[in-house]
């Protein structure tokens, strides 16, 4: 009888030990999970000092903000490529910056415009080109965009307004100082670049 009681107590102690061991493993796993999640959430927050006052800034998922970055990149490229002044150094500088944002298709359009005397005509007529973006549509599934804008060409004798429509595709690349959005425009082409209005100036 005493031996059976001892065996029963040993079995009970064994089950208690096993249960305690499993419970400790579960509790440890849960604690590690929540600790990891807290650390991950903490890494998403940074603090910026404004007059020695810490302000919290939250990091967002890159994919959540990608459409806005795509539009900003497309808008920046078109502004660099089409907003020009009659200064050959400035034109060269803007084109160099624009070429970091586009593939060979942009280089080909630049060379075609250069060969057709487009940039020389800007210099000779002292034209100032200003591009205004109307809208940029995106197809995120295909990484496709279409750009709509109006180009104002201010010459000595007249001001010309043109409708500009282009299209292309967007490729994700590593970010750099020359391409801060990490987006490369590919297969870029102009669909429409036609005069809408030609306003003559009164030259006395």
Cα 169 from Cα 161, distance rounded (Å): 26
* CA distance linking residue 105 with residue 82, whole number of Å: 15
pLDDT of 96 strictly over 90: yes
From the list 104, 113, 116, the residue with the least C-alpha distance to 84 is: 113
d(CA 69, CA 140): 12
Task: Kindly state the tokens that stand for 79.
Answer: 């502004």
Tens-place pLDDT, residues 23-39 = 888 888 888 887 777 76
**Taking residues 37-66, what's their average pLDDT?**
59
User: Average pLDDT of the chain?
Assistant: 85
Residue 108 predicted with pLDDT over 90? yes
pLDDT (average), residues 77-103? 95
User: Roughly what angle, to the nearest 10 degrees, separates helices 88-99 and 118-125?
Assistant: 140
The position carrying tokens 């034109």 is: 91
Percent of the chain with pLDDT over 90: 61
DSSP H helical ranges for 44-187: 62-82, 88-99, 104-115, 118-125
pLDDT in tens, 40-51: 665 555 555 555
Q: How confident is the model at residue 167 (pLDDT cuts 50, 70, 90)?
A: very high
CA distance 190 to 148: 10
Q: What pLDDT shows up at residue 198?
A: 83
Comparing 1-5, 119-123, 194-198, the range with the smallest average pLDDT is 1-5
pLDDT of 2 reads 59
Distance CA 110, CA 96 (A): 10
Residue 53 in this model has a pLDDT that exceeds 70? no
Query: Are 127 and 153 in contact, with CB atoms under 8 Å apart?
Result: yes
Residue 138's DSSP bridge partners are 145
pLDDT above 60 (res 54): no
Q: Between 6 and 33, whose confidence is greater?
A: 33
Say what the pTM is. 0.69
pLDDT above 70: residue 58: no
Q: Region 147-172: what's the mean pLDDT?
A: 94
Provide the token pair at 163.
């409708």
Contact 147, 136 (CB under 8 A): yes
Give pLDDT, residue 201. 76
DSSP 157: S
């Amino acid at each position: 009888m005493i031996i059976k009681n001892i065996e029963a107590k040993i079995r009970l102690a064994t089950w208690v030990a096993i249960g305690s061991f499993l419970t400790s493993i579960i509790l440890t796993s849960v604690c590690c999970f929540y600790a990891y999640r807290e650390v991950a959430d903490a890494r998403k927050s940074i603090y910026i000092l404004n007059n020695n006052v810490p302000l919290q800034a939250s990091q967002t998922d890159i994919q959540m903000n990608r459409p806005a970055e795509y539009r900003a990149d497309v808008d920046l490229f078109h502004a660099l490529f089409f907003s020009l002044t009659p200064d050959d150094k400035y034109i060269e500088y803007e084109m160099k910056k624009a070429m970091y944002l586009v593939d060979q298709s942009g280089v080909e359009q630049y060379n075609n415009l250069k060969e057709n005397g487009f940039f020389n005509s800007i210099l000779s007529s002292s034209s100032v080109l200003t591009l205004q973006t109307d809208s940029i549509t995106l197809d995120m599934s295909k990484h496709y965009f279409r750009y709509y804008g109006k180009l104002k060409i201010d010459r000595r004798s007249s001001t010309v307004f043109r409708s500009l429509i282009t299209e292309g595709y967007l490729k994700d690349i590593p970010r750099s100082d020359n391409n801060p959005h990490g987006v490369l425009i590919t297969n870029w082409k102009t669909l429409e670049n036609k005069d809408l209005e030609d306003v003559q100036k009164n030259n006395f």
